[in-house]
Amino acid sequence: MSFSSVAGDVSAKWYDVADEMAVPTAAHSVLGRVLGWVLSDKAIVGVAFQNDQPVVVAIDGSRLICARPEDPNVQGSEAVVILDSVPLDMQLRVGLVVAQQTHGNRPFLVRKWTIGEPSGSPFEVETWTPVSDWGASEYGGRQVIELAVATLGWTLPEGQ
């Protein structure tokens, strides 16, 4: 069975972000394997955050997918990867909270996205954009989420 090269690329990006944020990376190989089963080569991918932990976000077909190790310290057959997804071909609510926060002694503009009904189990993810250019990198998650919410008919307010 061959896996998508997109899966390999984004799992390597997840590893780099986790390492940069001092998050354990033991679950990296299992995450990559699961992404290989789930994502096609046409997926649009990036890294975002949930509870200060890096997660893979992807648009593949008409779905927004989020993948994360349940415990990034666990590797091999004991590792569990949690997959969440929401359809992008139906009407869903979009919520956005924007704040500046510091992570790892670096300032970020953090956007907390909520997609789905607040009374249910909405899809929640954060995208972090560095405030300064010093050693800055954007992890690709913002572009994925902005494309997803645009597909749902929502546009980001100017300057956000």
Task: List, as one string, the DSSP characters of the chain.
Answer: -PPPHHHHHHHHHHHHHHHHTT---TTHHHHHHHHHHH--TT-EEEEEEETTEEEEEEEETTEEEEEEES-TT--GGG--EEEEEEESSS---EEEEEEEEEETTEEEEEEEEEES-TTS--EEEEEEEESSSTT----BHHHHHHHHHHHTT--PPTT-
Domain residues for the domain of 111 are 94-151
Both tokens assigned to 135: 């050693």
Query: 33-78, pLDDT tens digit by residue?
Result: 999 999 999 999 999 999 989 999 999 999 999 999 999 889 888 8
Within-domain flag for 156: no
At 21 the pLDDT is 87
Domain end among 42, 63, 87: 87
Q: Round to whole Å and give the CA distance between 123 and 125.
A: 7
Query: 89-146, pLDDT tens digit by residue?
Result: 988 999 999 999 987 778 889 999 999 877 778 889 999 988 876 655 678 999 999 9
Tell whether 110 and 80 lie within a shared domain. Answer: no
At 157 the pLDDT is 66
Tell whether 48 and 122 lie within a shared domain. Answer: no
Judged against a pLDDT cut of 60, whether residue 153 lies above it is answered with yes
Lowest mean pLDDT among 15-19, 27-31, 48-52, 119-123: 119-123
Tell whether 83 and 98 lie within a shared domain. Answer: no
Give how many domains the chain has, as a whole number. Answer: 2
Are 88 and 62 within 8 A, CB to CB? yes
At 158 the pLDDT is 63
Tell whether 38 and 79 lie within a shared domain. Answer: yes
Within-domain flag for 121: yes
Tell whether 17 and 52 lie within a shared domain. Answer: yes
At 1 the pLDDT is 41
Query: Residues 89-95: contacts with CB within 8 Å, 24+ apart?
Result: 89/62, 91/152, 91/153, 92/116, 92/117, 92/152, 93/117, 93/118, 93/122, 94/149, 94/152, 94/154, 95/122
At 72 the pLDDT is 87
Within-domain flag for 125: yes
